């Protein structure tokens, strides 16, 4: 990944219950993908709902972050909510000082 390419937060929900994901999709938007099932005789088909739109992701995190049960995911959600918009420019053109803050944000995120 080059310095000019930055990751964006997204939410991914995996399930074998497609109807559940369709229902969640009606509430949140996003795209449902089908995972390739290499052993259909042993495994159910599985699906993932992926939400990428920044406004939706941040809104959902605000609502669910305090309910997340895995410490790392909860901490990362709070880190995004507290810091992402402070270090992310809309046009993606970073002066050296702001780029340093953005890279530090990413570094801390992956240390959580």
Domain ranges of the chain: 11-111
Beta strands in 5-99 (DSSP E): 11-15, 31-35, 46-51
pTM tops 0.85 = no
Q: How would you classify the pairing of strands 31-35 and 11-15?
A: unpaired
Half-sphere exposure (Cβ direction) of 65: Cα atoms closer than 13 Å = 16
**Residue 63 Cα distances to 2, 68, 102, angstroms:** 33, 10, 25
Model confidence at 91, pLDDT cuts 50, 70, 90, reads confident
In the structure encoding, which two tokens stand for residue 80, read together? 């995004």
Tell me yes or no: is domain 11-111 CATH 3.10.28: yes
Average pLDDT, the chain: 92
Model confidence at 70, pLDDT cuts 50, 70, 90, reads very high
């Amino acid at each position: 990944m080059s310095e000019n390419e930055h990751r964006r937060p997204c939410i991914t929900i995996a399930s074998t219950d497609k109807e559940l994901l369709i229902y969640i999709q009606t509430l949140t938007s996003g795209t449902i993908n089908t995972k390739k099932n290499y052993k259909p005789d042993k495994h159910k088909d599985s699906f993932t709902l992926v939400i990428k739109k920044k406004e939706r992701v941040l809104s959902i995190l605000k609502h669910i972050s305090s309910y997340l049960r895995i410490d790392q995911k909860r901490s990362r959600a709070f880190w995004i909510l507290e810091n992402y918009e402070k270090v992310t420019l809309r046009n993606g053109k970073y002066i050296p000082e702001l780029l340093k803050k953005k890279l530090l944000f990413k570094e801390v995120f992956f240390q959580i």
